[in-house]
Each structure stands twice: as C-alpha cells, then as structure tokens.
Amino acid sequence: MANKTTAEKLATIQQGYTLEGATIELGAAIVDGEIHKEAQVRLPLAMMNRHGLVAGATGTGKTVTLHMIAEQLSTAGVPVFLADIKGDLSGLATPATGSEKLTARTSALGQEWSAKNFPVEFLSLGGDGYGIPVRATITSFGPILLSRIMDLNDTQESSLQLIFHFADKNNLELVDLKDLRAVIQFLTSDEGKAELANLGGLSKATAGVILRELVGLEAQGMEKFFGEPEFDTAELLRTAPDGRGVISCLELPTLQTKPLLFSTFLMWLLADLFEDLPEAGDLDKPKLVFFLDEAHLLFNGASKAFLEAITTTVRLIRSKGVGIFFVTQTPKDVPADVLGQLANRVQHALRAFTPEDAKALKATVSTFPVSDYDLEETLTSAGIGEAVITVMNEKGAPTPVALTRLRAPESVMGPSTDELIKSTVAASSLLGKYGTAVDNLSAYEKLNGKAAAATGDAAPGLPPVPSSGGSGGSGASQADIDAEARRIEEEILGRPSSRSSSPEPFPAPPAPPAPAPQSSQQDGMFGDIAGALSGALGGGLKSMVRSMGTQLGRDLMRGVFGTSSRRRR
C-alpha cells in the first residue's frame, strides 16, 4: 500500500469506477491529499436496489449527500422517498443560488453545476405538519409494528396477534385506535370472557396491559396517525409529467417526541410496498429508492420477530425494484444480518473521542475492502462533504475504496419557504384523496351500536372536504342504504349478509367465506358498484361497499410484519 505511487492509486480508482450504464455521480477522488477530477467516483443506477448505508458523525454532511443523490435519481426518472427530520430537505423544491465559493468547489470536482428545482410531494404523518396527511389503518399496520410502538414484550406481542386474529375472523374492522380499544374492552368484559377463553394463550391480565398501553398512545395524541383514508404507497412510485421521478418528502417536525412511532411508520411504508409490488428481477433502474434516516431508532431494543421481519424485507424487496439506504451514525447501529445486505457504502467522518468511539471506528474499518488508504486516519480526518466510498459495480463486485469530495446539490441546501410548501400542497393531486380524515363503520361502532362519523378534521390550514356520508342528496334514508348494501353483499358473496338490519352489540360469526377474487378485479368490481349506485342511494354507499371489500380481505394472509395483505390497486 505504501509503495504505490499516486499515479498507480489513481489508475486503480479510475479503472474501478469506469462503468458502462447510467450512473449516479458522487464526486471526485482524493488521493494523497489532492482532489483529482479525472478520477470520478460513481454508483451504477442499476445497482441502487442493492441497498446502501450512509453513515457518519453528526455534522459531517450525511443530509447533503442524500440531497445530492436524490436530485440525480429524480433526473434519471427514479422516484425517491426521504424522511425530512431537520426540515432541510424541503429545499429540493427551490433552485439554489450560485456563488464564487460554490463555483470554485464544483470546478475543482469537474461538476457542471446549474441551479434547479425538483418535483417534490410534501407528506406529513397524520397531518403533523404542512404536508399531505399519511395515515394507516390499525389492521394494515399489523400487530408486530404496533407492538414495537407500544414497547410490548414477546408475550404481549403474541397476545396482540391473537387479538388481531379475533378481529379478523369476526369482521371487526380495526381502522383506528378506538377500534382496537373497543375490541380489547369487549374481550375483557363479562360479555366477552367466553370469546377470550376461546382464543387460548391470552390472559385477561395481559389484555389489560395492552389496553393500558393503547390508552397511553391515545393520551400522547397518536390517534391521528391511524385511520382513513389510508395512504396508498403506490403514490411513492410516481413520476412528474416531464419524466423526472417525484421526490416524496415526509416531514417529521416532532421526531424528538415520538421517535419510535416515526421510525416504525417508515417501516410500515416499506412493508406495504413489499406486499403490493410484483417481482421485477434485475432492472436498468430501480422503481423507487427509499432513504431511511435515523436508522438506529428502528433497531434499538427491537424484538427478535421485528428484527427478523426487517431482515426479510431488506433481503427480498430488492427483487421488486426497491432500493433502501439506511442513514445512521455508525455501521454498528445496524444489525449484522441487515448490514450484510448493504452493498453500497458512503462513510462520512467518524470521531474517536472516547474508547467506545475508538471501538466503533475499528469496527467500521473492518467492514471495508483492503485499500490504498489508512482508513482509521482517513475516517477521523475527512472534512465536511467528504466520504469514503465503495459500491457494487455492474458485475456485482465491490469497487475500490475511494476518499471522495462529494458533488454539490443544485437545489437549496436548507428549507424551502413555508409559502412554497403550502402552495405545493394546495396544488397537489393527493390533497383531495387524503386531505380530510373520515370515520367509516368499523369495530368501535359495531361493538357499541353507534353510527360512524363521516368526516374528521382537514389537514392543517386546508378547507374541510364535504362529507360523503349520510343520506346524500337524493333523500334516500339510512335504512334504504343499509338494505341495498345487504343485497349487494349477498349477491357478491353468495351467502346471507353479515350486516344486521339494526345495530348489534356484537356481530355474529361469519359463515365460511367464498373464494376471494383477484385484487384488481375486486377493487374494480366494488368501485363500479359504488359508482353506479351512489347517485341513487347517496354517498354513504361507497363507504359500505369499501367495508365489504375489507371483509373479503380478512381471509387473506397477513404479511411478513403481520401487516394486512389488502390490495387497493
């Protein structure tokens, strides 16, 4: 290593990063302390679904690296998902302003820089921010992810899975937290003790613990993250009219108060994509690249079942055309089974101020291929905006390790103005679909004999969407709508309707289900029925038909995280 000349080291990097297909340009190599723009470091676009790791100490430039890579992915027509924890990534929607300092940096790298903005969709969890609200139903979220948020132990997690099983089998739709609370309260009541005994392995004491944790979530204001309309993760796969990939930017303004919720919610998005996407094999470019920031939050104190589910998802989602980049401080934050799946590495500087830091530094160095650099020294002396890089080349082999001065983003490295964000959200095609929460008939209403509320609060600062429930403009009564819904259900399912003509405290056990049709046919059939009859019977029919589709979905297997395998497309 020490005997090689600078020219020999440069030749190794140039040869290793000479690639034939489309690439993401990362920057110029630094060899023997000098930047060499003739030695460009790049990542094959076709290898972005081999996953990656962006690591480094706080303040070393990880967020700017995500920003720069996201810009190029969008330009290449690849949709991107980013969690905007500090608010800086909203600047992707605003062109940057040039300066002499910026020009000097880009010229030294051989970068042809120009100010640009990119197509950004602003999202927020449950409307906690300016973006389009992203919600999930409890049944879709599943017991494993929910157990993670509630910090349940293995026994309690298994018990929660039994509760979900009971709800699935008895057509008790778990849409929001009050639905799950109502089911648990029923099982722990005198009326439901026989059902509790029939579940087996679920004690009343454990059910009570879960109920208390659930009430705690509601007390923390987390109920707004769960409900309908549920966000369709296919929205993350869109491209703009000009062919560029849409960058979905999820605002996380209160991460510090709910870190576990946010990291687990991001995992739900991935799990949902995993369940919905078909096998794609090797593609010229990925369908989506998903950046999972603050990745250590996912793994700290995670149960064995949760870790196994993450590992399985990371291993298998590659073949569905999705690349995942974990963003954290050190590789040791990521379990070995997951780390072994991350072929592309961008390692920013590390600090060695404590014995624990020194141990982490040695562990990081050991994960890189043998190189011409003294990596312990390089990683502790690298400047802001510099990183040690090795990626997978087009033949599936690791590229040479290269200390790299990274390229500069072409959009603002900081937040966009609130006015721009609000106007972008107001113009979004997603606002009409997700802007206002709705409360359809579900477990809470069934168990308490109450009618469902049709709407909830609009997204912050946005006008409420008119109610779609009630009797509609035709004057049809609720009884007429109920009767027609029962008739349609009996016709579709070929058995007596599970809907009662009057509210019951608890639904009768369902008869064995008819074979479920394919998902696309199912969605289209219910949509056609709703469209044809809603004018005559009022908008409330759509909610009922949707609920019928949900009941059919109860017979499908849950996914790797225990998430619902329902299909909306």
Given a contact cutoff of 8 angstroms between Cβ atoms, the answer to whether 77 and 45 are in contact is no
Confidence at 245, pLDDT banded by 50, 70, 90: very high
Rg for the chain, CA atoms, rounded: 26
Burial zone of 142 (CB within 10 Å; 0-12 exposed, 13-18 middle, 19+ buried): buried
Name the H helices within 389-465. 418-426, 431-434, 443-448
pLDDT value at residue 127: 80
Provide the pLDDT confidence category of residue 148 given band limits of 50, 70 and 90: confident
pLDDT for 52-91, tens place per residue? Answer: 999 999 889 999 999 999 999 999 999 999 988 778 899 9
pLDDT one-digit tens code per residue, 367-414: 899 999 999 999 999 999 999 999 999 999 999 999 999 999 999 999
Segment 34-38 shows an average pLDDT of 95
pLDDT band per the 50, 70, 90 thresholds, residue 113: very high
> 34-44 and 322-328 as β-strands: parallel, antiparallel, unpaired?
unpaired
User: Kindly report the CA angle at 207 between 202 and 213, in degrees rounded to 5?
Assistant: 145
Q: CA 147, CA 165: separation in Å to the nearest integer? A: 15
Split at pLDDT 50, 70, 90, the class of 256 is: low
pLDDT tens for each residue of 266-285: 889 988 998 889 998 889 99
- Tokens describing residue 344: 């592309």
Beta carbons within 8 Å of 429's beta carbon, 6+ residues apart: none
- Give me the mean pLDDT over the 13-34 stretch: 95
Whether this model's pTM surpasses 0.85: no
Both tokens of 405, joined, read: 């001065």
* Calpha distance 250→254 (Å, rounded): 12
CA proximity to 74, closest of 53, 97, 93? 93
> Would you list the DSSP string of 141-200?
HHHHHHHHHHT--HHHHHHHHHHHHHHHHTT----SHHHHHHHHHHHTSTTTHHHHHHH-
- The per-residue pLDDT of the chain, averaged, comes to 81
Read off the pLDDT of each residue in 197-219 and give the average, rounded to a whole number: 87
Task: Work out the number of other CB atoms within 10 angstroms of the CB of residue 212.
Answer: 11
